[in-house]
Amino acid sequence: MPFKEKLARSLFFLAAVLSAAVTLAVLGFMIALSLPVLKKAALWDILSAPWSPDHGQFGILAMIVGTLCIALFSLCISFPLSLGCALFIEVTRPGGPGKVLKKIVQLMTAIPTVIYGFVGVFLLVPIVREIFVYGSGMSILSASLMLGLLISPTMILFFSQSFARVPQSDLNAVDALGGNTVQKLWYVMLPHAWRGILTGIILSFGRAMGDTLIALMISGNSIALPSSVLDSARTLTAHIALIIAADFDSIEFKILFICGITLYGMTSCGILLARGLDRKPR
Amino acid sequence: MTNAFWDKLLALFSWACALLLVGAVSVIIGFLVVKGYQTIHLELIFSTTRPLDALLFKQQVFDGLFPAMVGTLFLVVLSMGFALPVGLASGIFLAEYAPPRVKWIFSLLFDVLAGIPSIVVGLFGFSITIFLHHSFSDRIFPCLLISSLSLSFLVLPYIIRTTQISLESLPLQVRLTAPCLGATKLENIFLVLLPSSLSGIVSGIVLAIGRCAEDTAVIMLTGAVATAGVPRSIFSSFEALPFYVYYMASEYADPLELTKGYGAALILLILCAGLFVVAYAIKTRLTLKTPYRF
């Protein structure tokens, strides 16, 4: 019997090591495969130069800027919306309507990203083109609007969860002192829940940066540096998807691993930050 | 300003946000339903082939969604086949065996894995293919096997997390009863702990299936193509529903193809929403029907 126990224990341990190895293997592959490029060109040149393979320039600055622009802008759209919805679920209408909204939000997490992209191409892009009469409509604005919708469930569920964790006794105290809802929110709920809110923002920012399909389908994929929200832009993720067909031995292809490692680094930082926030005693 | 004014403003703001969100989602779903519902009939899936012949793989289906649906099914089955045993075992290790420090390191790594963008996982799968191609056999190309392996990396952290959380959230009484009666740790895990946390674990698995079915970024880098027919082996390239939807949006040749794109998108949406509802039902049903209340 003890042998069986030991065997099971080591099998479980082996599985955990195997899964953890995947995380490290992805990082290892990205580093190992981007080293040859880094030997030829300085990292700074790659990060700051424009992308024009015909002239021997393989910079990914425009893609990094594109990624950050689209992710930030979608966050700006989604944050107030998500906060409002979380307030609706937990504070202003916690009964029937709030529960219904929560179910809808949970269902939203099941909508595939390619669906958002598909509807974006055939519904949102023409609308943006008509309203602003500028370019093709494939722009940072279109991508950010769709991406904002994609990341809002993550934020809403995180926000409402951290609002729900505010101790009921504190809320009762505000009521007993004759405080109104706004005071309750401002003086009790936000000071309690800000960690959760920040965690939700960081995680959904990571999701916005990591998403491929929406940016690939409706941001236009131009390699120029964007100068307004109506300009087209290319994200790192879309860049990987677009260049993958290139020759394996070309520099274009090898640069993809730098893109990959940049994405890996940015999202891991987000995860570390979120974990740090979550771990602190409340 | 009076207090009542601010209260009303807050209520107005939250109502506006809620309505805006629900409105936007209804527009998206409504748009697909209105444009796609007419295309959904057997011909969309089987084209001119007889459905029975197609289902028995006697005859290849051209111009239909059948190969894409079969591709997605194979993808889901294979990647869950890889991810389930490893994920469940890792979750059990984390919840039941790991000392605190080991647990901290492992869960950090799994969190990072969960955060890696799917396109980077796809790039990883693609570079493994190139590596194998160069060092073992030049007959190795992006294929169903590589895709499902990469997908299993993607869903692994979800399975681990749901297993771990379901096990850890069991009440202490459940945890201690069997060992008190003389059960070993392994018996306790397999006969008491896992059965009691089954609903949480199963609904997590169903959600992971949904992720396998919807992900496009991984498979577009590791072997999904626009026309391949039903895959002959795990070493051949394949079609898949989400890739078909993506491909139709960018490369459609005529309005007829586009309507098939709408149909495919609607089917994918129904599939994923259906899986979500199943997961939800399992979670609530099984919890309600548990004979013992603690």
Over range A189-205, report the average pLDDT.
88
Name the helix (H) or strand (E) containing B176: helix B172-180
Rounded to a whole number of angstroms, the distance from the CA of A176 to the nearest CA of chain B is 16
Position A83 scores a pLDDT of 92
Contact A26 B16 (CB under 8 A): no
Using CA atoms, how far apart are residues B77 and B208, in angstroms rounded to an integer? 11
Nearest chain B Cα distance for residue A49, angstroms: 22
Number of domains in chain A: 1
How far apart are alpha carbons B279 and B208 in whole angstroms? 10
Q: Which residue on chain A is closest to B277 by alpha carbon?
A: A107
Domain that holds residue B281: 66-171+197-287
Q: A269 at the B interface (CB within 8 A)?
A: no
Three-state secondary structure readout of B50-81: CHHHHHCCCCCCCCCCHHHHHHHHHHHHHHHH
Res B36 pLDDT > 90: no
Instruction: Judge whether A25 is closer than 8 Å to chain B, CB to CB.
Output: yes
Cβ-based burial of A176 (10 A; exposed 0-12, middle 13-18, buried ≥19): exposed
Instruction: Tell me the pLDDT band of B1, cut-offs 50, 70 and 90.
Output: low
Q: By C-alpha distance, which of B272, B273, B276, B267 is closest to B68?
A: B267
**For residue A130, is it within any domain?**
yes
A199 within domain boundaries: yes
> Are the Cβ atoms of B112 and A91 closer than 8 angstroms?
no
Are A92 and B128 inside 8 Å of each other by CB? Answer: no
**Nearest residue in chain A measured CA to CA from B183:** A1
Token duo for residue A17: 């090591």
**Structure confidence at residue A233 (pLDDT):** 87
Q: Which amino acid does the sequence have at B51?
A: P
Q: What is the pLDDT of residues B80-102, one digit of tens each?
A: 999 999 999 999 999 999 899 99
Question: At a CB cut-off of 8 Å and minimum separation 6, what does B200 contact?
Answer: B162, B165, B166, B169, B283
d(CA A41, CA A254): 12
CB of A35 less than 8 A from some CB of B:
no
A51 strand-pairing partners: A58
Taking residues A172-195, report their average pLDDT: 86
**What are A233's strand-pairing partners?**
A220
Give CA–CA dist B249/B228, Å, rounded. 18
**Which of A44-53, B50-59, B70-79, B139-148 has the lowest average pLDDT?**
B50-59
How high is the pLDDT of residue B258? 85
Judge contact between B208 and B155, C-beta under 8 A. Answer: yes
Q: How far apart are CA A213 and CA A204, in angstroms?
A: 16
- What is the predicted pLDDT for the residue at A1? 61
Asked if residue A143 is part of any domain, the answer here is yes
Q: Which of A85, A114, A180 is the closest to B246 by Cβ? A: A114
Among A9, A22, A216, the strongest candidate for a mutation testing the B interface, having the largest count of B CBs within 10 A, is A22
pLDDT at residue number B293: 44
- Report the CATH number that the domain containing residue A136 is assigned in CATH: 1.10.3720.10
On whether the CB atoms of residues A205 and A75 are closer than 8 A, the answer is yes
CB contact under 8 A, A114 and B268: yes
Report the pLDDT averaged over residues B251-264. 84
The answer to the question of residue A245 being in a domain is: yes
Highest mean pLDDT among A93-97, A256-260, B90-94: B90-94
By Cβ distance, the residue of A107, A183, A275 closest to B108 is A275
H or E element in which residue A155 lies: helix A140-164
Query: Is residue A125 assigned to a domain?
Result: yes
Give me the number of domains chain B comprises. Answer: 1
Q: How far is CA A54 from the centre of its chain?
A: 32
Beta-strand runs (E) in chain B: none
**B37-49 pLDDT, tens per residue?**
888 777 777 777 7
Contact B108 A19 (CB under 8 A): no
- Cβ contacts of B217 on chain A, cutoff 8 Å: 212-213, 237, 241
CATH for B159: 1.10.3720.10
Q: Using a pLDDT cut of 70, give the percent of chain A over it.
A: 98
Residues of A in contact with B117 (CB under 8 A): 209-212, 237, 263-264, 267
Tell me if A234 is assigned to some domain: yes
CA-to-CA distance for A273 and B164, rounded, in angstroms?
Answer: 22
Residue B4 domain-assigned?
A: no
A30 touching B (Cβ < 8 Å) = yes
Q: Is the CB of residue A200 less than 8 Å away from at least one CB of chain B? A: no
> Per the CB < 8 Å rule, is A12 touching B127?
no
> Which residues of A fall within a CB distance of 8 Å from B184?
1, 5
Q: Is the torsion defined by CA of B121, A150, A161, A196 positive or negative?
A: positive
Which residues span the domain enclosing A223?
A: 61-165+192-252+263-279
Structure tokens at B28: 């998206």
Side chain identity, residue A4: K
Residue at B17 is within a domain: no
The answer as to whether B214 is a domain residue is yes
Please report, for residues A25, A182, B79, the alpha-carbon distance to residue A159 in angstroms, rounded to integers and kept in the order given: 34, 17, 32
C-alpha–C-alpha distance, residues A37 and A253, integer Å: 10
Give chain B positions within 8 Å (CB) of A111: 25, 28, 269, 272-273
Q: What is the DSSP letter of A231?
A: S
Residue A55 lies in a domain: no
Q: What is the pLDDT of residues A34-67, one digit of tens each?
A: 888 887 777 777 777 778 777 777 788 888 889 9
Number of H helices, E strands in chain B: 14, 0
Tell me the chain B residues in contact with residue A275 when contact means C-beta distances shorter than 8 Å: 108, 111
In this structure, is residue A116 part of a structural domain? yes
CA atoms of A149 and B19, how far apart (whole Å): 13
Read off the tokens for A74.
Answer: 């979608």
- Chain A residues with beta carbon closer than 8 angstroms to that of B87: 15, 19
Which pLDDT score is estimated for B84?
93
* Min Cα separation A273/chain B (Å): 11
Specify whether the CB–CB gap between A176 and A251 falls below 8 A. no
**Chain B contact probe: residue of A87, A114, A145, A240 with most B CBs at under 10 A:** A114
Q: Mean pLDDT score of chain A, rounded to an integer?
A: 86
Residue A117: per-residue pLDDT: 92
pLDDT digits (tens, 9 = 90+) for A131-152: 888 778 888 899 999 999 999 9
Domain assignment of residue B58, yes or no: no
Contact A110 B272 (CB under 8 A): yes
